[in-house]
């Protein structure tokens, strides 16, 4: 039974995630769910405002007992009423509130998309950084193996008296430093893995290499976070406008239907002028003509808040345009770095082969050999890192262009 349980767990434990899969998983995490709940909350608030302006119907029942009867007052009175009320005009507040709440809904939707784009970029950066570190680790392990082999070879020469203790110590030091670098890389890989586990809500994350960012149309569009801010700022304008409505009259229609039953102990006191059924329709106007400037002050306060956020929006729009241009320039440089890193790698390999021959023939000492060997592995790391950095820069261009990174993953 234990064997079956273990075997059933192996496929899950060994499953590797591609970049598109990691991004898709991140879009279902708790932050996204929280943002979706915010949208539901804003939508409910909008629906509530719309419903509050529909006709309202109130029902009421009353019972009264009088200590003394008279022709106008029965001993016991039982009544029921229904009141229909509808606001015809409220100084424009209705339209402003509709617009305000609708914009808040739209803003929260854009905010959700902005959150998803942030997660996509974060996941993408961590994915390619993980690949870079993996390449660094592979190159470091190869370097360690080669250094250890050279150390063993030099030990034999040292025992034979053909090498000095200083030469042996230098290679031994290189081996220890390379092993330390490998441990540091392992730690960074663990950090990235844990960060991904937190973002995608999965344990035992394994990365499937091979994903990339497609080249495509990176024309500038409005970023979701900027679009969200725009709608939020516009909603503040309508909120300020709604606060002015108190300076205008409110006109509403009211229709009251009542039915009353009178119970007299003394039947002689019953009178015909007491109505048992009544329907009163009225058109009402209310106007607050004096509030000592309270409404005006409230409007000025909210309008100032709108202007403040409008200035921040304009700043962020300008910054977004600058970020986009810088991202494009960074991508151009990153692509050039790949060519430069490739040329450096090829040159270092050629230099290493020449130095290796001279070192084995005793023409050069091991200092030059170790430097040439180190340059090869450093160039190897730089080349693969340049490739992964270019992918990150391409993702940043997509992000700052306002497009959905998920659509460019492959």
Q: What would the mean pLDDT of 386-401 be, rounded to a whole number?
A: 95
pLDDT tens column, 197-226? 989 988 888 888 888 899 888 888 999 999
pLDDT of residue 81: 94
Q: How many CA atoms lie within 13 A of 140 on its CB side?
A: 19
Question: CA 338, CA 347: separation in Å to the nearest integer?
Answer: 14
Question: CA 261, CA 277: separation in Å to the nearest integer?
Answer: 9
From-to residues of CATH 1.20.1600.10 in the chain: 14-54+90-248+294-408
Specify burial of residue 265 (Cβ count, 10 A radius: 0-12, 13-18, 19+).
Answer: exposed
Say which range, 112-116, 119-123, 157-161, 333-337, has the weakest mean pLDDT: 157-161
DSSP 54: S
Is 29 strand, coil or helix? coil
Is 32 strand, coil or helix? helix
Q: Which residues sit opposite 65 in a β-bridge?
A: 76
- Helices 366-400/165-200 angle, 10° precision: 20
Indicate the CATH number for domain 14-54+90-248+294-408: 1.20.1600.10
Torsion of CA 390, 391, 397, 398, to 10 degrees: 170
Is 218 strand, coil or helix? coil
pLDDT tens column, 340-389? 999 999 999 999 899 888 887 878 777 788 888 889 999 999 999 999 99
pLDDT at 6 over 50: no
pLDDT tens column, 40-49? 999 999 999 9
Q: What would the mean pLDDT of 243-250 be, rounded to a whole number?
A: 90
Q: Which helix (H) or strand (E) holds 100?
A: helix 93-159
Length of the chain: 410
Sequence-distant (6+) residues with CB within 8 A of 113 are: 224, 404
Whether the CB-CB separation of 243 and 298 falls below 8 Å is answered with: yes
Question: CA 229, CA 160: separation in Å to the nearest integer?
Answer: 76
Q: What is the DSSP string of 277-344?
A: EEEEEEEEEE-----TTHHHHHHHHHHHHHHHHHHHHHHHHHHHHHHHHHHHHHHHHHHHHHHHHHHH
């Amino acid at each position: 039974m234990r064997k079956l349980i273990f075997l059933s767990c192996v496929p899950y434990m060994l499953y590797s995630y591609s970049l598109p899969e990691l991004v898709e998983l991140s879009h279902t995490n708790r932050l996204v769910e929280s943002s979706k709940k915010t949208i539901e909350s804003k939508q409910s608030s909008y629906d509530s405002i719309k419903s509050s302006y529909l006709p309202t119907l109130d029902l009421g029942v009353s019972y009264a007992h009088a200590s003394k009867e008279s022709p106008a007052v029965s001993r016991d009175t039982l009544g029921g009423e229904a009141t229909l009320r509808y606001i015809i005009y409220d100084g424009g507040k209705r339209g402003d509130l509709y617009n305000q709440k609708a914009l808040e809904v739209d803003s929260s939707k854009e905010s959700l998309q902005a959150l998803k784009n942030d997660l996509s970029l974060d996941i993408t950066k961590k994915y390619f950084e993980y690949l870079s570190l993996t390449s660094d680790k592979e190159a470091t392990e190869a370097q360690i193996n080669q250094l250890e082999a050279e150390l063993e070879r030099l030990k034999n020469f040292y025992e034979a008296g053909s090498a000095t203790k200083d030469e042996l110590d230098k290679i031994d030091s290189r081996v220890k430093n390379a092993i330390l670098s490998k441990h540091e890389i392992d730690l960074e890989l663990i950090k990235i893995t844990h960060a991904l586990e937190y973002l995608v809500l999965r344990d035992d994350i394994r990365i499937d290499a091979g994903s990339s960012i497609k080249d495509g149309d990176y024309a500038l569009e409005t970023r979701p976070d900027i679009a969200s801010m725009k709608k939020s700022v516009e909603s503040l304008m309508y909120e300020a406008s709604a606060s002015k409505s108190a300076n205008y009259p409110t006109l509403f229609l009211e229709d009251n239907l009542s039915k009353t039953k009178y119970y007299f102990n003394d039947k002689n006191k019953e009178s015909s002028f007491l109505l048992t059924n009544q329907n009163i329709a009225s058109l009402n106007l209310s106007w607050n003509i004096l509030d000592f400037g309270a409404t005006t002050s409230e409007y000025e306060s909210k309008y100032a808040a709108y202007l403040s956020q409008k200035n921040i929006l304009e700043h962020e729009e300008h910054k977004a345009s600058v970020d986009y241009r810088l991202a494009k320039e960074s991508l151009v440089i990153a692509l050039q770095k790949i060519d430069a890193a490739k040329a450096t790698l090829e040159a270092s390999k050629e230099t290493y082969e020449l130095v290796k021959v001279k070192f084995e023939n005793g023409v050069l000492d091991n200092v030059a050999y170790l430097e040439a060997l180190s340059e090869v592995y450093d160039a190897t790391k730089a080349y693969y890192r340049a490739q992964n950095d270019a992918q990150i820069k391409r993702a940043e261009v997509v992000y700052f262009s306002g497009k959905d990174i998920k659509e460019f993953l492959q």
